[in-house]
Amino acid sequence: MTALANLIDPMIQHGILNPHLLSLLARVRHTNTLVIADWAFPNFPGIEIIDLSVIKGLPTVLDLLHAVQPTFKVGKIWQAGQFLTTNSPETIRRFDEAFSSFEGAAVTRLEHDDFKELVPNAIGLIRTGDPTSYGNIILQSV
């Protein structure tokens, strides 16, 4: 086996393994947005949807957020303001902590209907099995 062959592994071994998700993430460019949503989030015609939901609670929005964090440079994060009034302080803390891992990313919370108006401009939507009320997020690349 040549030295070059040793560097090229025929199968991804680390990080995101799902080929559809990898393809979507590879197409994100400056200022593109990406939606990570719960299991009940509506379909939007014309937007690529990758449904990763397995069962209720698996995976979660935070699971996906942690998975994309090493390779996705985020400048802005949007979430529905209703998230703050419908979830426990612990859930809010976990989301805020995850958001803080994207250094310098501005978090904006807006009305859920206004949040949904931003979705059609996204490059894609990843649906999870998350049951967190208003836990959907939109990430904008730098």
Catalytic machinery residues: 30
Compute φ and ψ for 102, nearest 5 degrees.
-95, 85
Tokens of 139: 């990430």
Kindly state the tokens that stand for 12. 């991804």
Other residues' Cβ atoms within 10 Å of the Cβ of residue 81? 15
Q: How far apart are CA 15 and CA 108, in angstroms?
A: 28
